[in-house]
Amino acid sequence: MATDSAAMSAAAARDRSTELMLRVRDGDVAAFADLVEFWQDRLVTLFLHQVGDHATAEDLAQETFMRVYRARNRYRPTAKFTTWVHTIANNVCSDLKQRSYRRRERGVPHSVSVSSSTIGLDQLAVAASGLMPARAADRGELQDLVRQAVAGLSERQRMAVLLAKFEHCSYEEIANAMGLSVPAVKSLLFRARDQLRGALTPYLEG
């Protein structure tokens, strides 16, 4: 118990989310509301770029919060809360993908794009070919181009890139959240960079 308390206090001092989560674990519902407020935009952003649909992203964020709440008694402040919630978010994405596959097997149409195949390299190629190096793309065009380039990544590559870019995660944190080794994460990011570079070359060279 003493070790637990020491770890708890150390973690609480360095991470507001951890502090809130510890209060949630102790039954403080108001702290859970604060936690949702604190994390909702971040999670919706993460999921939006994973699935490409805002409503689905919100559903996934809500599912993540529910899992966080259900698992509150198992939470231990031995790791950063951010890593813990990223792990849950990754699991939520994986579960969605599996459900999506099952729906497809049963012939149920699905509107959520969860893999590169649903975005399509064709769209990406069209978007890229329309951008000549000399042409100055406006903000909207650039945003579409990058979004489609990211959508062309595999799900795991995309999650690694999003955790790195939006959540400022280190290799170790990404590895922990995705259940991978650090070399595997480096490999994912290396291949993601090559693919993104290929898709964004016209713009990057400009």
The total number of residues written for the chain in this structure: 206
Please report whether residue 169 would count as binding other proteins according to CB under 8 A: yes
User: Which of residues 123, 170, 179, 206 is near other proteins by CB under 8 A?
Assistant: 170
CB of 120 to other proteins, least distance (A): 19
Q: Which is nearer to other proteins, 100 or 188 (CB)?
A: 188
Distance between start and end Cα atoms, the chain: 59
* Nearest alpha carbon to residue 93 among 48, 125, 141, 138: 48
Q: Which is nearer to other proteins, 37 or 95 (CB)?
A: 37
Which pair of structure tokens corresponds to residue 55?
């409503």
Q: Name the one residue in this structure whose structure tokens are 């062309």.
A: 152
* Nearest alpha carbon to residue 166 among 24, 64, 42, 11: 42
Q: Please report, as ranges, the residues that interact with other proteins according to CB under 8 A.
A: 15-16, 29, 32-33, 36-38, 40-45, 48-49, 54, 57-58, 61-62, 65-66, 69-70, 139, 142-143, 145-147, 150, 160-161, 164-171, 174, 186, 189-190, 192-193, 196-197, 200, 203-204
